[in-house]
Structure 1
C-alpha cells in the first residue's frame, strides 16, 4: 500500500476547511468613523485623503495592518487603529473593496 494513503484523511479535512469570509456589513458598520475623512461611500471629498472604494481587499488589509503595527506612520490614523481587531480590519477591507 502506498504511504500517501495515510495522508488522505488529512487532505480531506484540509480541503473541507473553509476560511471564514469577511463580513461586509460589519465592515460597513465600522466604517462610519472612517467616513469623516474617506467619505461616506469611500470617496474622499478632500484631496489629502485617499479614496478607499474599489481598492483591492489585500491592499487595504495590508495598509490597515501597517498602520496598526506602526510600520506605516500617520498620526491621524493611529488613534483609530488602536481598537481594531484582525477581523475588523478584514471586514473593513471587504466593505471598501465592495464599493465602486
Structure 2
C-alpha cells in the first residue's frame, strides 16, 4: 500500500480520536436541563428509604446533593455493565453523555432539604 495513503489514514484516525475525546470533555451539564430529564429517576430515588428487591435487595440512595462527577461515573459504570443492577443498566444505557451531565448537575444542585419530586 502506498505510504501516503497509510499516513493519511493514520492521521485521520488520530484526528478522529482527539475529536471524540474533546467532545466528551466539553460536555457540561445544567441543572435546568437536568430537571426535565430526572423524571425517570424520581420513581425510585424520590421515595424515602426505598429498597428495590429484584434481583436482590438494594437500598436506593437519595441523589440530592450528591457530587456530579460521582453520579456521572456511576451512570457510566451501569451503562458499561461494570455495575450490575439490571434496571439501572437499562436506564443508563438509554442516556447520552449530555443526559448524564444534566442529571448529575441537577442532583448536585440539590441538598437534603430540596423537594424530592422535581415534577410537582
Settle same-fold status: TM greater than 0.5: yes
Structure 2 CA distance for partners of 1:69 and 1:20, relative to 1, 3 Å = closer
- The whole-number CA distance in structure 2 between the counterparts of 1:20 and 1:49 is 27
CA RMSD of aligned residues (A): 1.4
Which residue number in structure 2 is paired with residue 4 of structure 1? none
| SS of match in other structure, 1:99 | coil
Deviation at 1:20, TM superposition (A): 5.4
- The whole-number CA distance in structure 1 between the counterparts of 2:67 and 2:92 is 19
Which residue number in structure 2 is paired with residue 25 of structure 1? 32
Residues 19-58 of structure 1 deviation map (CA, whole Å, 9 limit, x = unaligned): 453121121111011100000xxxx421521010001111
When the two structures are superposed, what TM-score results if normalisation uses the length of structure 2?
0.60
Which residue number in structure 2 is paired with residue 94 of structure 1? 105
Deviation at 1:80, TM superposition (A): 1.1
Which residue number in structure 2 is paired with residue 11 of structure 1? none
Match among 92, 95, 102 for residue 81 of structure 1: 92
Alignment of 1:1-100 (within 5 A): 19=26, 21-39=28-46, 44-45=47-48, 46-47=50-51, 48-100=59-111
When the two structures are superposed, what TM-score results if normalisation uses the length of structure 1?
0.71
Deviation at 1:63, TM superposition (A): 0.5
Structure 1: any 5+ residue segments left out of the alignment? 1-18
